[in-house]
Chain A
Amino acid sequence: MKYALFLGCNIPIRLKQYESSSRAVLQELGVTLVDIPEFNCCGYPLRNVDLRAFVLSAARNLALAEQQNLNMLVLCKCGYGTFRMAEHLMKENAALREKMNAVLAKEGLKYEGDVQVKHLLSVLFHDVGVEAISEKVTMPYENLKIATHYGCHALRPSKIVQFDDPVSPSLFDQLVEVTGAESIAWPSKLECCGGPLLGTNDELSLDFTQKKLTDAKDAGANYIATGCTFCQVQFDTVQKTMEPERGLNHQLPSILYSQLLGLCMGIKKEALGLDSNEIDITGIANFLAT
């Protein structure tokens, strides 16, 4: 199992713990990661502005992975959705692919469509497998209730992204349960975190976040778990600003799945960056079975 690791723009500067915890967990599970420093923006933020620039950005990354004959492992769900969408657009429209390749050719790159793009959770579920993971879980959690947040761009449009069943997905819940934690049922599990509207319509963005946090809290969650850069920033960094701005404190911290899994596999909390979250999550260690 060898993948080109795609980090995107935000993780190396704003969410370093997602990178370090994913590397630690994947190494332990025998997944080899290759870094391609030439990777650029996935293209996601460009989609509102210019579809072709969006496809081109994605295509360049895909071509770089293809050049090294590697499949891609993406940590962010928006990035994952972007690559799947770009793949689809270039597949259905040969002329578009040719235009993109004409630009890429200037750098000696070409996108043939031979690269598979997978999200971290898919790799863990399908390639590593729940059984192999459970063997590595040395200190399972007890009495821990987790609200899984699936993330829109991994689930939908399902025909294109093909991550899991779009109506009743279970992949993330199974991955959570293997740690010994309980994945609870909660109403707005499959809805948006509010992240895409940040900076465009802050009020609406925060309303979405607030609703999700309230729902998860009411359903009895101790933590909300994410597997996406934007969702994590929304539930962690942005949630923290909600307290002074809206006088709200849900006291529902958000944890990245790689952190959640890593801790019960006995990986040191420094490698998982447990101290790096804006809202303190170090209390999760109290749920580990002794």
Chain B
Amino acid sequence: MLFNIALYTSLAIFLAGLIYKMSNWFRCNIGPDAAGFSTSTRISAAARGIVSTVFSARIGTLLKIFVLDVLLQAWLLKKDFLRWFAHICIYGGFMLLLLMHGLDALITSVLFDDYYSTLNPFMFLRDFFGVVVIVGVGIALYRRFVSKPPRPKSTAVDHYAIIILAVIMISGVVLEATKIVSHSKYQEMVDEYAGLEEPEEIKALEAYWVDKFGVVSPNVKKPFDEPTLKEGKLLHDMSCAGCHSRPQWGFIGYGVAKVVQPVALPLDRANVRTLLWYLHFLACFLGLAYLPFSKFFHIFSTPAYLLVNGMIEEGKSDPANIATRDAMGLDACTHCGDCTVRCSVAVAFNEIPNPNILPSEKLGALRAILSGRNLSEHALLRVHEGSHICTDCHRCTDVCPVGINLEALWLNLNDYLAERGYPKPEAWARETIGVEYDLAKLMEKTLSLTPVDKKFAGELTGSAQASTFAVCFGCQNCTNVCPVVAHYENPKEAVGLLPHEIMHSLALKQKELALGSKMLWDCVTCYMCQEHCPQGVCVTDVLYELKNLALKHLKEKAA
């Protein structure tokens, strides 16, 4: 009863999730080119595309992609053998377990008339496939914790996926072990299949199973005499062997059974094996229901993306299908982290701990934005910061194993941020600073010589250059050689404070004046001022550090 309720509930959630997630591929618009197509246009374009591909010579290319890239993952093999081997083990082993064991009622028993889960080769294969998965997981764990190739941190999403997988595998193995040692399970099967009535026979068969197959019985104990075992074997061959191979063939379960043997009787009395059975199938169903929303969704999305992307020809294919392909790209990411390992600016993460710097993490933020979730100003500013540290070097896109056009996604993200009032940080700061500090108003009021923010002078500690403003004697050479100042008829109106005035306001510890000038953002960093300062004031370097402070300050304020 519970089994069926759980099965149908999880199946319903799984299907609804799958439909919802796949519908996103047709609803989600990435970039201005995608905005012109309605969902129905995109669905019908996709249908036309599929039909025209299937009934054309391109079906050959499609099949080649399916075999090489989807089934065999040749691209991963070329890149890293161990990683390929681990992935093939996990996905191959688990798929085979699912098809042969999980769906035995639907598949295996239909294909094989003589199917019994307790009979070879099925009994052996179940454990063998289990071992394949465990080997794969072992290599994956080794790579993650021992050999540690550079990769981004695992996130909660990665952990949930691994935990569910582990619970399914471990509960399955322990369940098999507790069944092997269980006397009550043995009794159930004898009652059902052997139909013994003579007490001597019952005892002989039980003795044989205790002696040879690891059952722990409250009734009989080792050692047994030869005639009993002989009769037991006879009865076993007659009643059991026909549909039950030696339990040793379930070799992982049998190994664990050896370990739990000493506590087999209490386990059996507490009916632990039923509990494990619940745990095992509930974990499977939880995994099924969670699949479309988890990292495992890539089982569907990544092959789909590989196939669609392989068929799309830029410039030739229906733009509606290109829009759909781009939306699929968001789901095709497996969070493998190759992009982040190759990212040109990932190293900055050590100093600016914002995960949105890393492409593998920034994609999550983009997904959240596109799914219509309203990010807080704070979260949006974090995305903004990360997104603009990117230098558009294209490496992430070149290295993505699935071929997601990440570069295009980032450009679209920047466009979106600009629309929301967050252009390039320098441009944003230049605009915001004008609102924040109105120099015209400041000019009318008398400035207190007591600094408002006493800590401010201490903030300019990035380098020794930054403190050189102190030796400025106001000769204005910096301002006189500045090409930006020279460019304007009325420079004060255009840029606010002039370079020498900024140096002066620093000496007066006037934070608002120092940070509030547009000059910071209009500085072309040509270093003319610094080169020509007779006092050795590092004017440009000071302006650079003021920009750091101003951005920090503005971000804090906006958040």
Contact = CB atoms under 8 A, between A and B. Distances in A.
B446 interface: no
B348 A156 contact: no
Given A200-B427, A201-B427, A46 B526 contact: no
Contact of B344 (A40, A156, A201): A40
Given A53-B352, A204-B522, A204-B524, 10 more contacts: A12-B393, A40-B344, A46-B389, A49-B425, A152-B525, A192-B524, A200-B430, A200-B522, A208-B483, A208-B524
Given A13-B394, A92-B463, A50 B530 contact: no
B154 interface: no
A56 B347 contact: yes
A103 B391 CA distance: 22
A89 interface: yes
Interface in B391-408: 391-394
B527 A53 contact: no
A50 B391 contact: no
A207 B487 contact: yes
B236 interface: no
Given A92-B463, A204-B484, A46 B348 contact: yes
B521 interface: yes
Contacts of B528: 152, 156, 191
A45 interface: yes
Interface in A191-217: 191-192, 194, 196-197, 199-201, 204, 207-208
B551 interface: yes
A134 to B, nearest CB: 32
Interface stretch (B35-43, B121-129, B262-270, B539-547): B539-547
Given A13-B393, A41-B391, A46-B345, A52 B525 contact: no
A110 to B, nearest CB: 15
B530 A157 contact: yes
A47 interface: yes
A41 B427 contact: no
30 contacts: A12-B393, A40-B345, A40-B347, A41-B344, A45-B391, A46-B345, A46-B348, A48-B548, A49-B548, A50-B352, A50-B548, A51-B548, A53-B351, A53-B352, A92-B463, A153-B527, A155-B527, A156-B527, A156-B528, A156-B531, A157-B531, A166-B531, A192-B524, A196-B525, A197-B522, A199-B423, A201-B521, A204-B484, A208-B487, A208-B524
Interface string A201-237: 1001001100000000000000000000000000000
Nearest to A158: B531
Contacts of A194: 524
Nearest to A200: B426
Nearest to A59: B347
B389 A191 contact: no
Contacts of A12: 393-394
Interface in A157-173: 157-158, 166
Given A48-B426, A93-B463, A200-B427, A192 B526 contact: yes
Interface residues of A, number: 42
A57 B347 contact: yes
A52 B350 CA distance: 10
Nearest to B428: A200
A10 interface: yes
Minimum-distance CB pairs A-B, first 9 = A156-B527, A9-B393, A53-B351, A9-B391, A200-B426, A192-B526, A51-B462, A152-B526, A53-B348
Interface string A50-72: 11110011001000000000000
Interface in A127-164: 152-153, 155-158
Interface in B365-390: 385, 389
A200 B351 contact: no
B350 A199 contact: no
B524 A47 contact: no
Given A40-B346, A53-B352, A191 B483 contact: yes
Given A49-B548, A200-B424, A201-B522, A13 B351 contact: no
Given A40-B345, A51-B548, A191-B526, A199 B424 contact: yes
Q: Chain B contact residues: over half helix, strand or loop, or mixed?
A: helix
Contacts of A208: 483, 487, 524
Contacts, number: 129
B538 interface: yes
Contacts of A13: 392-394
A107 interface: yes
Interface in B482-502: 483-484, 487
Interface string B510-532: 00000000000110111110110
Contacts of A57: 345, 347-348
A93 B463 CA distance: 8
B1 interface: no
A15 B69 CA distance: 32
B389 A49 contact: yes
A257 B348 CA distance: 32
Contacts of A56: 347-348, 350-351
B150 interface: yes
A157 B538 contact: yes
Nearest to A156: B527
Contacts of A191: 483, 526, 528
A48 B425 contact: yes
A107 B346 CA distance: 13
A47 B466 CA distance: 13
A272 to B, nearest CB: 23
B348 A157 contact: no
A204 B463 contact: no
Contacts of A50: 348, 351-352, 548
Contacts of B547: 48-49
A166 B531 CA distance: 8
Contacts of B427: 199-201
A194 B487 CA distance: 12
Contacts of B111: none
Interface string A71-97: 000000000000000000100110010
B238 interface: no
B464 interface: yes
A89 B463 contact: yes
A47 B531 CA distance: 19
Contacts of A103: 350-351
